[in-house]
Amino acid sequence: MIKGKIEDGLHPKTRVEISGNFAAKKFSLLVDTGFDLDIALHHTEASNLGLKAFGVVSLDYANGEKADEPICLARVLWHGKWKRTTIALSKDEEPAIGTRLMQDLVVTLNFGNNRLTIEEHAKFKSKKRR
């Protein structure tokens, strides 16, 4: 189970480690249900990890702006295991986790106690073990 908190009663965040070509770093990432890719990182952070772009993706920002942004491959420590993932390089300073990374998981936002949990669903755990 991955845990996080709802900062200021509004912003669900969790900490995860992302590994690039020559560095790894833990990030506090916003859980963004409006972002349908894996992870978004600012260009500078991606460069610090040694990530290299291999393509472009079209992003729709919350302010209505649309932009074609580079994408990279990296690894994320996700539920105790390193997972290959796609990182969209964003103009936004705040890193985010998108819904593609959360597929087949149960995400609980408890605004009453400012807690976030991301856990594997029993239905999907049993399929993986077979």
Q: Given this model, what pLDDT does residue 91 score? A: 86
pLDDT in tens, 51-67: 999 999 998 887 888 99
pLDDT in tens, 28-58: 999 999 899 999 999 999 999 999 999 999 9
Task: Give CATH superfamily name and number for 2-129.
Answer: Acid Proteases (2.40.70.10)
- Backbone φ and ψ of 91, nearest 5°: -80, -20
Q: Which of 27, 101, 88, 29 is nearest to 61 (CA)?
A: 88
Mean pLDDT of the chain: 91
In the predicted structure, residue 130 carries a pLDDT above the cut 50: no
Q: Given this model, what pLDDT does residue 57 score? A: 93
pLDDT in tens, 66-112: 999 999 999 999 999 999 999 999 988 899 999 999 998 999 999 99
Q: Given this model, what pLDDT does residue 60 score? A: 85
In the predicted structure, residue 24 carries a pLDDT above the cut 60: yes
Domain segments of the chain as ranges: 2-129
Q: Given this model, what pLDDT does residue 129 score? A: 46
